[in-house]
Structure 1
Amino acid sequence: MAHELKKEGKFSYLEKGEGTPVIILHGLMGGLSNFEAVTEYFPDFGYKILIPELPIYTMPLLKTNVKTLAVYVSDFIDHIGDEQVILLGNSLGGHIGLLCTKLYPEKIKGLVITGSSGLYESAMGESYPKRGDYEYIKQKAENVFYDPKVATKEIVDEVYATVNDRNKLIRTLAIAKSAIRHNMAKDLPNMPNPTCIIWGKNDNVTPPNVAEEFHELLPDSNLYWIDKCGHAAMMEHPDRFNELLHTWLKERQI
């Protein structure tokens, strides 16, 4: 995704468009490019897309946890000067979005989660023990998608580099353990913010029953399914993802 990042103080972020701010939160092994289709689509419809680089690998180790990242997102909302935003998160990004919404509900106009952790422990619990084994990492990356071909060599290489970087691996494991400890089942019934849940019917990482539980526990949520789709719907079925999200935003007048 060939967009120049803005660097302002502790924040480094992509910005595109004008209008209602949509802050996108990438996952643990994800990056800004995972949301390329969203970034290209929504500015044409009155939305400003903002994707901050989450400081997962640069936080002090003792503060490498979901709450620190949720506070970081709140600080970012203050930094951009918008009173209310839409949060959109995948996997760990969804979890951060959920906690940010719990802690700062007045700042969140709407929340969108896809393949989110926060309920299902195994979503974040598996480490990458075979660090030097490229084929093993390739299989793990392919397992994220319904169609393994979506896991391009570029994606696999990026994950391989991350798990073979000692600093990044330590922080990856720290944030994963934090996510496992921070189950939000008791919090969700007290979170009235409008929430859009978009889920792959073939998600192996956070299975469909996780989406159903989110839908059941969140007081004001809508659940949408995408067939033949794994853990990263916005990458595997970008057009369908955008269509579902845009319909929800229009119906909820967000």
Structure 2
Amino acid sequence: MAYELKKEGKFTYIEVGQGTPIIVLHGLMGGLSNFSGVTDYFSQRGYKVLIPELPIYSMSLLKTTVKSFANFLEEFIEYKALDQVILLGNSLGGHIGLLHTKLYPQKVKGLVITGSSGLYENAMGDGYPKRGDYEYIKKKSEDVFYDPKIATKEIVDEVYATVNDRAKLVKTLAIAKSAIRHNMAKDLPAMDTPTCIIWGKNDTVTPPNVADEFNRLLPDSNLFWIDQCGHAPMMEHPDEFNRILEEWLTSRNF
């Protein structure tokens, strides 16, 4: 289902449903539509789903960092007058959720990460994005998923347009480097926010051992696997993802 994009001041976002707020955080190359399965499902089950558009390409280069995005998220939460939110992040979005939870633990009731950076990621694979090489971009986009058909022409075209826009490419590389620099291994043991880790068994960007490490380091976490699944479980297996998440939320009385 297509949802209306709200634009208010510095914020552009989707807001659907009523109830406990779930704030969804997209990844570096991920669009808001990547979470349509989550939005459709949980907005009908007593949750208010909000998906802010992260200012990945609109902040100055010096502020194109994980920490700046975590602070932007806090501004959004304050703007919407929310409290005790559930954060759900994929890839870079998971990393932003983790850092926000570290910086503002009193605001976050629960955290959900899937294919999250913050410990290790192989985002660039064997090299930097090759501008102008559509087949290379197509292959890289397909490699994100277990089933390459999930990488539709629309998704590939969007990634191709991004890496061929020089300003966006510079920002993309800046945030990727910031994510690598901002390793959270030493922070995680002190973070006691209940955390749900949902991971694709075939993720090549953030491999399965990364999920095991998150689970080991986070004091109050539960790890769930989805088989035949790559870096974006909520896209590749939306029904299974929603089932796991709903059961976890219920078990935590969220």
1:200-215 equivalent positions in 2, closer than 5 A? 200-215=200-215
Q: Is the 8 A contact 1:125 1:176 kept in 2?
A: no
Cα distance, 1:207–1:160 mapped onto 2, change above 3 Å: same
Query: Which runs of structure 2 are paired with 1:11-26 in the superposition (5 Å)?
Result: 11-26=11-26
Give the percent of matched residue pairs that are identical in Structure 1 and Structure 2. 76
Deviation at residue 127 of structure 1 after TM alignment: 5.5
Structure 2 partner of 1:142: 142
User: Could you tell which deviates more after superposition, 132-141 or 121-130?
Assistant: 121-130
SS of the equivalent of 2:44 reads: helix
**Equivalence for 1:62:** 62
- Inter-partner Cα distance in structure 2 for 1:105 and 1:122: 28
- What's the CA shift for 1:89? 0.2
One-letter amino acid matched to 2:231 = H
User: Structure 1 CA distance, aligned partners of 2:80 and 2:248?
Assistant: 25
Aligned counterparts of 2:83 and 2:26: Cα–Cα separation in 1 = 22
The letter of the residue matching 2:6 is: K
Aligned to 1:113: 113
Contact 2:122 2:204 in 1 (8 A): no
1:124 Cα deviation after fit: 6.2
Is 2:210 the counterpart of 1:216?
no
Which residue in the other structure is 1:84 paired with? 84
Residue 198 of structure 1 aligns to a residue whose secondary structure is strand
Q: Which runs of 5+ in 2 are unaligned?
A: none
Report what 2:236 is aligned to: 236
Matched, 1:46 2:46: yes
**Structure 2: distance between partners of 1:145 and 1:9:** 35
**Does structure 2 conserve the Cα–Cα contact (< 8 Å) formed by 1:86 and 1:110?**
yes
- List per-residue Cα deviations over 1:144-183 (Å, max 9, x = no partner): 0000011000000000000001111010000000000000
With normalisation by structure 2, the TM-score equals 0.98
Instruction: Please say if residues 117 and 123 of structure 1, whose CA atoms lie closer than 8 Å, have aligned partners that are also in contact.
Output: no
Is 1:8 aligned to 2:8, yes or no? yes
Secondary structure, aligned partner of 2:119: coil
How far 1:125 moved relative to its partner? 7.2
Asked if residue 196 in structure 1 is aligned to residue 196 in structure 2, the reply is yes
Determine whether 1:74 maps to 2:74.
Answer: yes
Q: Secondary structure of 1:248's match?
A: helix
User: What is the number of equivalent residue pairs in this alignment?
Assistant: 254
Aligned residue for 2:18, secondary structure, equals: coil
Q: Where in structure 1 are there 5+ consecutive unaligned residues?
A: none
Question: In the TM superposition, what is the alpha-carbon distance from 1:129 to its structure 2 partner?
Answer: 3.6
Q: Say whether the 8 Å CA contact 1:234–1:241 is kept in structure 2.
A: yes
Is the 1:12–1:52 Cα contact (8 Å) retained in structure 2?
Answer: yes
Deviation at 1:4, TM superposition (A): 1.2
The 1:109/1:127 distance shift into structure 2, 3 A limit, reads: farther
Offset at 1:9?
1.1
Distance 2:227 2:214 in 1: 19
CA deviations on 1:84-141 (whole Å, 9 max, x unpaired) are 1000000000000000000000000000000000001434676634111000000000
* TM-score, normalised by the number of residues in structure 1: 0.98
The residue type paired with residue 168 of structure 2 is K
Pairwise mapping of residues 175-194 of structure 1 onto structure 2 (< 5 A)? 175-194=175-194
Structure 1 distance, partners of 2:236, 2:125, is 23
Per mean C-alpha deviation after superposition, the further-off stretch among 55-64 and 116-125 is 116-125
Paired with 2:191 and 2:34, the residues of 1 have a C-alpha distance of: 27
Superposed CA deviations along residues 38-97 of structure 1, whole A, max 9, x for unmatched, are: 000001110000000000000011110000000000111111111210000000000000
Tell me which residue corresponds to 1:33. 33
Residue identity opposite 2:238 in structure 1: P
Alpha-carbon contact 2:129-2:137 (below 8 Å) kept: no
Helix, strand or coil for the counterpart of 2:230?
A: coil
Whole-angstrom distance in 1 between the partners of 2:127 and 2:17: 37
**Change over 3 Å in CA distance of 1:128–1:86 after alignment to 2:** same
State the superposition RMSD in angstroms.
1.1
In the TM superposition, residue 235 of structure 1 has moved relative to its aligned partner by 0.2
Between 1:114-123 and 1:49-58, the stretch displaced more is 114-123
